[in-house]
Structure 1
Amino acid sequence: MTVAAELNQAVEQVKQQVIEWRRYLHQHPELSFHEEKTAQFIYDILSTFDNLELSRPTKNSVMARLIGSQPGKVLAMRADIDALAITEENTFDFISTNPGVMHACGHDGHTSMLLGTAKILSGMKDKIKGEVRFFFQHAEEIYPGGAEEMVQAGVMDGVDLVIGTHLWSTMEYGTIGICPGPMMAAPDTFWINVYGKGGHAALPHQTIDSIAIASQVVTNLQHIVSRTTDPLDNLVLSVTKFVGGTTHNVIPGAVEICGTVRSFDKELRETVPKLMERVIKGITEAHGATYEFTYEFGYRPVINDAEVTQLMEDVVVEALGAEWVDHMRPNMGGEDFSAFQQKAPGCFFYVGAGNKEKGITYPHHHPRFTIDEDALAVGVKMFVHAARKIVMEVE
């Protein structure tokens, strides 16, 4: 039996166990930086596998090292393990038992897929030339994120390549999303407070109308995207929160604004807050108001290495078939997988997990989000065949 055939057989054998792990994790979600029980569950399962060296790089993360029988490259694989503050509205029999917390982004699936991968590969130590590291990362959903903490703890020391995946419910089962170069944007956050002078709504001339001024700030910020930025650059500036006032006949003295900026280019990213403050300062001063402006840089953009991405596309073709390849466009979502990519070339790819025929169509972060569990075996297959190409079938 070839190594590829042996791996495919092993995936079939572990498939049901991966589903069971996913359902357990779905029932017991924990928020970012609070994944104590989740991390212990992962550690306990990994402890039952042979040939793994286990550690806890941070309080709520787990790393397993599988060192092969011969020297070679070091391949890292990552799964995120945290959940979201969402009240689940699904009706299947394994919904969240933690009120107000839900795996609404597929991290339960990512974790179970990597556990399945570790189970398979841990039994093939004698075929591995090099090392495979399994990262079970906490706190992807909340900045500053768990990836950076794990990197600071040294998990990437000596790593040659790093790969990670995301189950994607808006991509149909039967596809693998591949994207060389920029794939996911840098997600930054901003807060603006506009301070005017409150008063009676019937006497606006005695006030400095913070709502009218803040509204101009919101509309003029869009000129940064449409008139200041090169149309060929990728930039999103979205105001997502606008709070001011308490009743119908009072002009409030202050308005609170919040939002996000998404970009790929480092120079553009650093320029945007300066452009924003120029707009905010000009408008507020013109109307006799004042302001406070805070800008927080979030995760770096996910930039896939061309060579590693081509390798993963080859894995898709060899393990699943060319018809599975989806040369997807970049998107403006954010991911702290980028922290690992600062230390070694890497590839982040999507596994299609939606299924219209099964009614699995809800987007990520929705209270009725779920995945087609058939996609779990696909993710495992991608991981183990990546290991085959990088640390097993090596000349």
Structure 2
Amino acid sequence: MVSTFPHTHSVDVSQIRLAIRALQPQLVEWRRHLHQRPELGFKEQLTANFVAQKLQEWGFEQTLDTSVPLRYQRGIAKTGIVATISSNRPGPVLGIRADMDALPIQEENEVPYRSQHDGIMHACGHDGHTAIALGTAYYLAHHREDFAGTVKIIFQPAEEGPGGAKPMIEEGVLKNPDVEAIMGLHLWNNLPLGTVGVRTGALMAAVEVFQCTIFGKGGHGAMPHQTVDSIVVSAQIVNALQTIVARNVDPIDSAVVTVGEFHAGTAHNVIADTARMSGTVRYFNPKLEGYVEKRIEQIIGGICQSHGARYELEYLQLYPPVINDAKIADLVRSVALEVVETPAGIVPECQTMGGEDMAFFLQQVPGCYFFLGSANPSKDLAYPHHHPRFDFDETALGMGAEIFVRCVEKFCG
């Protein structure tokens, strides 16, 4: 439970709130600067330059020397940055992760800070995540006496794809010093401003994708006996794939198998010789890893064999499920309750079949990923994520920074 975390140094939490509130205009300014300059995965050069510039302004040195209390490293997984803040007192090492990339979407918002990059938009709140992480770094750099140990703030590229967490881990971002626990947040327009979604266990789903081509034998639509109809074969496959969730997966375990693309045929009177489909698989239970893939291939292979067709299947496991550690989730929950100041503001049942490569960090060290409510319909700020009019109530920026800072004070107290 949270009571097991050290509390060797008393911190006036009201002072934290006052300091973060004073920082709010800067958080908004940083977020809007980033929103105007969105960049796709592994191309976040402007974003990384901005982060590095701010860190340098606050006294961070670009070095690997662990004796330097305020330091940062660039070029991790191409554009990633890690900022390290070390206290003067020994203690644990906590990681805080923020993603930086945008999406290939044309923004439709008519706001002064709209995207200046044609066809690219921060439509998922990562500009806000980066601003919150910067605010956390600023506060901690100026209050190193209020905690013990070390905080590593990880600015990660390419969450939207192909995934920057895994290469950052492979390049040692959790080492030197070794991170003992990690946390991160996602601004969430599925929750109203003033709420926090946090739960123990699975929060977000595994993400897997497949592409399949069915090879039949084409011919005249009036002479089907001379053909192997790839559309008929594929239609049976689409229907049969639904039995995986309905009849193979334990009904207590949520899972999704979706065929999102289907392409075949060139004319009304021609039986197509090939058909192509693609889809996605989602699940929470890590025990399902590999199982759904196996069943998909068994079903496709069986149906193709029965009709005399052939197939090619490509299956990719992108992200594992996001699994929160009970102890760190309890810490976040207790801090979030202090920030939102009402039990109704804590939303425990906030799972989504969306995926996140934060999962790779949580596979390495215990941690918690949580949702920070950011929707405000009264200001027309409630469009869903990945929508061309997505935007959020920037009041959430200060709330996010306050939660992170208070978590540091409790974890590294």
Partner of 2:152: 133
Q: Is the 8 A contact 1:162 1:344 kept in 2?
A: yes
Question: Structure 1 residue 155: deviation in Å?
Answer: 1.4
| Distance of 1:26 and 1:348 partners within structure 2 | 23
Partner of 1:338: 359
Count of residue pairs brought into register by the alignment: 391
Does 1:377 find its partner at 2:398? Answer: yes
Partner of 2:30: 21
TM-score where L is the length of structure 1: 0.96
Query: Per the alignment, in what secondary structure is the counterpart of residue 21 of structure 2?
Result: helix
Q: Cα deviations across residues 113-137 of structure 1 (Å, max 9, x unaligned)?
A: 1101111110011222101111000
Q: Is the 8 A contact 2:193 2:396 kept in 1?
A: yes
Partner of 1:52: 70
Q: Cα deviations across residues 54-103 of structure 1 (Å, max 9, x unaligned)?
A: 10123201110000010001111010000111111111121111111111
RMSD of the TM alignment (CA)? Answer: 1.3
| Distance of 2:167 and 2:11 partners within structure 1 | 39
Q: Is the 8 A contact 1:165 1:348 kept in 2?
A: yes
2:215 paired residue among 168, 185, 195? 195
Partner of 2:137: 118
Task: Report which stretch shifted further, 132-141 or 262-271.
Answer: 262-271
Partner of 2:44: 35
Partner of 1:235: 255
Question: Structure 1 residue 2: deviation in Å?
Answer: 4.8
Partner of 1:74: 93
Consecutive unaligned residues of structure 1, counting only runs of 5 or more, are none
Consecutive unaligned residues of structure 2, counting only runs of 5 or more, are 1-9, 60-68
1:93 paired residue among 112, 117, 120? 112
| Distance of 2:31 and 2:338 partners within structure 1 | 26
| Distance of 1:2 and 1:332 partners within structure 2 | 38
| Distance of 2:204 and 2:331 partners within structure 1 | 19
Q: Is the 8 A contact 1:170 1:354 kept in 2?
A: yes
| Distance of 1:4 and 1:19 partners within structure 2 | 22
Amino acid at match of 1:73: P
| Distance of 2:199 and 2:330 partners within structure 1 | 9
The runs of at least 4 consecutive aligned structure 1 residues that moved more than 3 Å come to none
Q: Is the 8 A contact 1:319 1:385 kept in 2?
A: no
1:366 paired residue among 349, 369, 387? 387
Question: Structure 1 residue 336: deviation in Å?
Answer: 0.6
Amino acid at match of 1:312: V
Identity %: 43
Partner of 2:272: 252
1:154 paired residue among 172, 176, 198? 172
Amino acid at match of 1:105: C
| Distance of 2:49 and 2:246 partners within structure 1 | 49
TM-score where L is the length of structure 2: 0.92
